[in-house]
Amino acid sequence: MLDTHAILCALMAPATQVKEPGVRSRVIAIVGPTAVGKTAAAIELVSRVGGEIVSADSMAVYKGMDIGTAKPTAEERKLARFHLVDVADPAKPFSVGEYQRLAQATIADIVSRNPPAIIVGGSGLYVKAAVDGLALWIPPRNDELRRRLWDQAEKLGNEAVHSQLAEVDPELASKIHPNNLKRVIRALEIYDATGIPPSVLFRKDSAREPAHPEARLFGLTMRRDALYVRIEKRVDEMVAAGLVDEVAALLRRGIDRTLPSMQGLGYKEIAGYLAGEYSLAEAIALLKRNTRHFAKRQLTWFRADKRIKWIDVENCTASEVAKLIEQELKNEQEPAQPAG
């Protein structure tokens, strides 16, 4: 059977990578689950319409954490300018509030010099901070509370901490898996500082005017089984590229396993292996499983944003995806033709 989607991509693929005039969107976002091909598509889009890339990845901000975060390679950085990669010390706390301040300043700078600013990432809250901004007051870290909750999780299990969130904010608790302990603890931290359920604060925030109302958002997606194949391949490539050595080096530097930087996918699983909690094969299997679950949560988050134009990229090259996005951008700028 002919694959009409593949044929469509082939027909729309550009013969040469030439920047064409006419795209006037100053802020563009490319989002979607991990391993779907966001970075490659963004680089190709830069080659067609210009601009610079703003990373919206909660782990790519950390210096020295390269393999597990799938940061753009040296070759990719020659093809496009990237921002907000390697801006934080993994030994120190880094919040979405800090990211928002950097992102808004970076976007303003790009728009003034070399638009568009192309926001790329799969961390939903970071994308929101970059595109919309978070108007609500973001409570600072409470390290004492965090340590206490982490200790409770280690002694009593993640469900025990999750149940505390369910008591004060059942709505939000129903949307966060107990194993996503980082988000559970952050929600409890917000409640502790404000006395208001985080879901109430988030609703108030979502009702305000976005920082960049003109932004165009594109989501990349594919069949779940095809995405899972990509995820497993990426994990195998990370391990082959030296992920274990990277995590070991961070631990030797004294980066504690409980820090937010070490709770990222790849780092927590390999840290457990290095601590003798399970074998390397078990760590890799755990990482693949956790990444699949994370991809599902990413899609759930982004599917709720009705502004996003979804593109099935399963049978498309990065160049073809960029061409499709470029055409969508041009279509919105073309004036309607008079009837008759």
Q: What is the pLDDT of residue 138?
A: 66
The pTM is what?
Answer: 0.78
23-135+208-328 topology per CATH? Rossmann fold (3.40.50)
pLDDT in tens, 100-128: 999 999 999 999 999 999 999 999 999 99
Q: What is the pLDDT of residue 29?
A: 98
The mean pLDDT of 92-107, rounded to a whole number, is 92
Does residue 185 carry a pLDDT above 80? yes
Question: Which residue matches tokens 């006419």?
Answer: 22
Q: What is the pLDDT of residue 135?
A: 67
Give the residue extent of every domain in the chain: 23-135+208-328, 143-205
Does residue 14 carry a pLDDT above 80? no
The mean pLDDT of 180-200, rounded to a whole number, is 91
Let me know if domain 143-205 sits in CATH 1.10.20.140: yes
Q: What is the pLDDT of residue 194?
A: 86
pLDDT in tens, 53-69: 999 999 999 999 999 99
331 phi/psi in degrees, rounded to 5:
-60, -40
Torsional sign, CA 71, 77, 80, 83? positive
Does residue 204 carry a pLDDT above 90? no
Structure tokens at 302: 């982004």
| Cβ pair 210, 132 in contact under 8 A | yes
Query: Which percentage of the chain shows pLDDT scores above 90?
Result: 77
pLDDT in tens, 154-169: 999 999 999 999 999 9
Does residue 324 carry a pLDDT above 50? yes
Give the burial string for 281-317 (b: 16+ CB within 10 Å, else e).
eebbebbbebbbebbebbbebbeebeebeebebbbbb
The mean pLDDT of 173-178, rounded to a whole number, is 93
Does residue 335 carry a pLDDT above 80? no
Q: What is the pLDDT of residue 137?
A: 61
Task: Provide the mean pLDDT of the chain.
Answer: 89
Q: Is 22 left (phi over 0), alpha (psi -120 to 50) or beta?
A: left
